Amino acid sequence: MDDGKIIALLNERSETGLSALKQKYERLILKVLRGILNSPQDAEECANDVLLDVWNRIPPDEPSNLTAYVCKIARRRSVDRFRYNTAECRNQALLTELSECIPSGVTVEEGDAEELSRLLSEWLNELSKRSRRLFTLRYFFGESVKTAARECKISETAASSALLRLRAKL
């Protein structure tokens, strides 16, 4: 079912819409969650929360890009679970790598986080498509360097080097 139809059904509060959403996006949601969380149970639970979130937000939300919308909700859910519960981050290296990009102890207020997201988007949009995809696969989706490298059709060594340079640039 195409996204427009799913959104239309969700707007009508039709459970068919929810089923279609689950059928189409559950795998992607789990992929995002498993990239951040360690526990499969946590990921499963969060997946249901994500579907419920989408159900509760549409309407009034009218996402123009349902894939990205769902991914963002899934990632926020996984970060919340990681932050507030006892769940462990699946990939500690990912956070260690990102910690290189910012001075120790720096915190960001809620309003500033939006600005930082905007700045990150600007920075990412200035990169080549391959670099942008590599960075996003690694740090948004939490993919391993090996998987991100494979998806970008470069060697793992080249991906590690590219990510190192990107973090330095960031």
* Residues at the site binding another protein, with contacts judged by CB under 8 A: 24, 28, 38, 64-65, 67-69, 71-72, 75-76, 79, 82-83, 88-89, 92, 94-95, 98-99, 101-102, 105-108, 112-114, 116-118, 120-121, 124-125, 127-134, 136-137, 139-141, 151-155, 158, 162, 165, 169-170
Q: And the tokens for 65?
A: 């890009």
Q: Which is nearer to another protein, 10 or 81 (CB)?
A: 81
Q: What angle is formed at CA 25 by the lines to CA 152 and CA 50, rounded to 5 degrees? A: 110
The distance of closest approach from Cβ of residue 147 to another protein in the complex, given in angstroms and rounded to an integer, is: 11
The distance of closest approach from Cβ of residue 47 to another protein in the complex, given in angstroms and rounded to an integer, is: 16
The distance of closest approach from Cβ of residue 132 to another protein in the complex, given in angstroms and rounded to an integer, is: 6
Looking at the DSSP assignment, which residues form a beta bridge with residue 94? none
Residues in Cβ contact with 169 at an 8 Å cutoff, skipping those fewer than 6 apart: none
Q: Which is nearer to another protein, 60 or 128 (CB)?
A: 128
The distance of closest approach from Cβ of residue 56 to another protein in the complex, given in angstroms and rounded to an integer, is: 18
Write the CA distances from 70 to 39, 98, 137, integer angstroms. Answer: 20, 23, 16
Q: Are 30 and 47 in contact (CB under 8 A)?
A: yes
Q: Which is nearer to another protein, 17 or 142 (CB)?
A: 142
Residue type, 39: S
The distance of closest approach from Cβ of residue 139 to another protein in the complex, given in angstroms and rounded to an integer, is: 6
Q: Which is nearer to another protein, 49 or 151 (CB)?
A: 151
Residue type, 103: P
Looking at the DSSP assignment, which residues form a beta bridge with residue 89? 37
Q: Which is nearer to another protein, 52 or 102 (CB)?
A: 102
Whether a cis peptide bond, with omega within 30° of 0, leads into 63 is: no
